[in-house]
């Protein structure tokens, strides 16, 4: 293009109507030579262009130089514009998976540059998300309410959870920065000798984190995942929920409130199609630490997702008052517990990760609590104007549906019904099971594995007894916290998530410990001396060995046998002495 513009300019400036066609042809050949030279040599300067045939008059030479300068500027500008246009066109026309790979590579480059590691950067991003929620509360709620399955209460609970999470993580980030240089002295051992050493434990960042959200938690899973990712010093590949309005709104707001280099919007469904390694990752909500290689390949390293098992609740008879009591106080206590349980299943359409699924109830409190559960389910159902379609199939043996409104409450006989016979249509369900005593409830709880949360309604001394004999990730007594229901990730939010960081040990020595400079004989002699002089503090508690049960029985049997033989022999000897006198 450059040669043609220059050629046309010269022909226009020095053109004469009386010039023959042969002259025009020769002029065009000379211009083409200059054009080829300019294309093959980018360093072709304006001074070299003087070798081209120029007009004879000064006015025409001035016009030619002016057009050449204008051409040079236009050519540079058009070149940059064409490059940007081709790049943008390639991004737009490239396959979606390629675009996501490029986005992940950009995020990986941002992380490698160290942009997310400074505490000030993390703090600014958390403050930006706080301002995003504070300034656009109504817009966020309006976009999410386009999904008819959500309510204003659910969304307000989510936004409050994210704000509370930001406050907690800000304190954690600032505290971790202050404790980053904290060290402790290490006692000298056999190999270090008398040299002093100091040890420090620090948490380092993980890299690129894929934040996957879901329609049930559009903001606590997306914005909350961003908060946890930024607080840990990572960058985020954000996969927003399927809602078009929520995706468009968050896409426009994030540009205004957080650093562009710290996040990228991706489509996890399209990403999984081209990257098989991500197909093993669970569905949203989840946090997946990705290993992004330079060739664009991606491997998931660690995953934070919902627990595989359900939470459990146990209502001890002491939670309703004294044993065998009657009256208004007992009814009020049962009503509070029932409303607490039903509320946990109503919020987020029953998809709260830590909402209880099974409720064990002592027989003495079963009747009162069941009546209040039915009343609470009907009350919440009329409030949200929602009820589920009744089951048309015949119920299995040992299973009876008490109410099917906002929450489906099912009564299951302990030794007759089976969990495999429960309906699996996705409706919020609460299963009630009777227990004969606290010990029977403990046996039932011990048969369950990996309980995410145990909600215990009881009074002392039963509370301490049950807590001591039941294992669960978390035990909550006499209440279900709302922040736990709004938490879309099964991680502790009071500290930096260990799944999104690396633990790093730093050991500082006073100097190098050189031992090979001496002879090998002296080194071995010193090591043998250290082994011989090694000593530990001991307590006189026996030899510490453990015998097998049958070995113990055998030893007792041998002792009894020896004692019997000795007694018989001694009795015979004494009888002999007596009758021989």
**Model pLDDT, residue 49:** 44
Q: Which domain holds residue 463?
A: 311-485
* CATH code, domain carrying 271: 3.40.605.10
Q: pTM for the whole thing?
A: 0.68
**Model pLDDT, residue 484:** 85
Contact 2, 35 (CB under 8 A): yes
Overall size of the chain counted in residues: 581
Q: Are residues 51 and 162 in the same domain?
A: no
The first and second tokens of residue 359, run together, are 């409720």
Secondary structure percentages of the chain, helix, strand, coil, to 5? 50, 15, 35
**Block residue for tokens 């309006």:** 142
* CATH code, domain carrying 398: 3.40.309.10
Please report whether residue 346 resides in a domain.
yes
DSSP character for 262?
G
**Model pLDDT, residue 15:** 40
Please report whether residue 147 resides in a domain.
yes
Please report whether residue 561 resides in a domain.
no
> Which residues have a Cβ under 8 Å from the Cβ of 176 and sit 6 or more positions away?
119, 203, 496
DSSP character for 392?
-
Please report whether residue 202 resides in a domain.
yes
Out of 305, 321, 355, pick the residue that ends a domain. Answer: 305
**Model pLDDT, residue 94:** 47
**Model pLDDT, residue 360:** 92
Q: Are residues 56 and 112 in the same domain?
A: no
Q: Are residues 243 and 360 in the same domain?
A: no
* Average pLDDT, 10 consecutive residues per value, the chain (581 residues): 42 42 53 50 43 49 61 63 49 55 84 88 93 93 85 90 90 67 63 65 81 86 91 88 84 92 80 62 73 80 77 91 74 91 87 88 90 87 50 64 83 70 75 89 85 90 90 89 83 70 72 62 76 75 60 82 89 83 63
Q: Are residues 404 and 434 in the same domain?
A: yes
Please report whether residue 349 resides in a domain.
yes
Out of 69, 93, 117, pick the residue that ends a domain. Answer: 93
Into how many domains does the chain fold? 3
Q: What is the spatial distance between Cα 466 and Cα 482, in angstroms, rounded to a whole number? A: 24
**Model pLDDT, residue 548:** 62
Q: Are residues 34 and 165 in the same domain?
A: no
CA 341 to centroid of chain Cα atoms: 27
Please report whether residue 581 resides in a domain.
no
Q: Are residues 321 and 252 in the same domain?
A: no
Q: Are residues 121 and 238 in the same domain?
A: yes
Q: Are residues 322 and 415 in the same domain?
A: yes
Q: Are residues 13 and 151 in the same domain?
A: no
The first and second tokens of residue 6, run together, are 């220059």
Q: Are residues 182 and 316 in the same domain?
A: no
Q: What is the spatial distance between Cα 15 and Cα 63, in angstroms, rounded to a whole number? A: 13
**Block residue for tokens 């656009």:** 136
Q: Are residues 403 and 434 in the same domain?
A: yes
Q: Are residues 138 and 237 in the same domain?
A: yes
Please report whether residue 458 resides in a domain.
yes
Please report whether residue 556 resides in a domain.
no
Out of 266, 283, 305, pick the residue that ends a domain. Answer: 305
Q: What is the spatial distance between Cα 517 and Cα 361, in angstroms, rounded to a whole number? A: 73
């Amino acid at each position: 293009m450059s040669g043609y513009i220059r050629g046309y300019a010269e022909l226009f400036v020095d053109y004469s109507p009386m010039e023959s066609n042969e002259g025009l042809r020769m002029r065009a050949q000379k211009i083409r030579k200059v054009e080829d030279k300019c294309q093959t040599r980018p360093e072709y300067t304006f001074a070299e262009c003087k070798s081209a045939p120029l007009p004879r008059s000064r006015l025409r030479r001035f016009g030619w130089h002016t057009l050449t300068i204008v051409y040079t500027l236009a050519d540079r500008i058009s070149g940059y514009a064409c490059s940007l246009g081709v790049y943008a066109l390639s991004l737009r026309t490239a396959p979606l998976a390629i675009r996501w790979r490029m986005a992940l590579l950009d995020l990986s480059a941002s992380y490698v540059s160290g942009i997310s590691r400074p505490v000030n950067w993390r703090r600014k991003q958390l403050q930006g998300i706080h301002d995003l929620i504070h300034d656009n509360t109504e817009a966020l709620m309006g976009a999410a309410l386009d999904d008819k399955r959500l309510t204003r209460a659910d969304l307000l609970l989510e936004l409050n959870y994210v704000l509370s999470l930001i406050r907690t993580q800000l304190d954690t980030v600032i505290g971790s920065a202050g404790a980053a240089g904290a060290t402790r002295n290490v006692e000298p051992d056999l190999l270090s000798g008398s040299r002093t050493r100091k040890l420090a434990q620090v948490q380092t960042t993980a890299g690129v984190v894929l934040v996957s959200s879901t329609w049930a938690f559009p903001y606590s899973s997306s914005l909350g995942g961003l908060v946890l990712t930024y607080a840990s010093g990572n960058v985020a590949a954000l996969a927003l929920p399927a809602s078009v309005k929520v995706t468009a709104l968050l896409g426009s707001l994030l540009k205004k409130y957080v650093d562009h280099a710290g996040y990228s919007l991706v489509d996890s469904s399209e990403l999984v199609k081209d990257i098989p390694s991500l197909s093993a990752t669970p569905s949203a909500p989840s946090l997946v630490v990705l290993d992004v290689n330079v060739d664009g390949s991606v491997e998931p390293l660690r995953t934070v997702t919902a627990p595989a098992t359900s939470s459990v609740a146990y209502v001890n008879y002491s939670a309703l008052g004294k044993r065998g009591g009657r009256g208004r106080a007992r009814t009020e206590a049962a009503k509070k517990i029932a409303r607490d349980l039903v509320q946990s299943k109503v919020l987020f359409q029953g998809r709260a990760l830590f909402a209880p699924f099974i409720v064990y109830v002592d027989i003495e409190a079963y009747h009162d609590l069941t009546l209040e559960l039915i009343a609470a389910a009907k009350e919440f159902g009329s409030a949200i104007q929602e009820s589920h379609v009744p089951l048309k199939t015949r119920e299995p043996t040992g299973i009876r549906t008490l109410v099917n409104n906002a929450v489906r409450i099912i009564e299951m006989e302990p030794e007759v019904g089976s969990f495999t016979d429960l309906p699996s249509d996705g409706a919020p369900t609460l299963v009630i099971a009777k227990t004969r005593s606290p010990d029977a409830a403990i046996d039932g709880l011990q048969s369950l594995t990996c309980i995410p949360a145990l909600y215990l309604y009881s009074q002392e001394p039963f509370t301490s007894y049950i807590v001591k004999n039941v294992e669960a990730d978390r035990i909550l007594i006499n209440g279900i916290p709302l922040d736990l229901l709004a938490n879309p990730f099964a991680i502790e939010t009071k500290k930096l998530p260990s799944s999104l960081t690396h633990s790093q040990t730093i050991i500082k020595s006073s100097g190098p410990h050189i031992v090979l400079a001496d002879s090998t004989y002296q080194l071995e002699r010193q090591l043998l001396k250290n082994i011989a002089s090694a000593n530990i503090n001991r307590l006189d508690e026996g030899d510490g060995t453990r015998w097998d049960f049958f070995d113990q029985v055998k030893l007792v049997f041998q002792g009894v046998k020896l004692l019997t033989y000795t007694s018989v022999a001694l009795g015979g000897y004494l009888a002999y002495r007596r009758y021989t006198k």
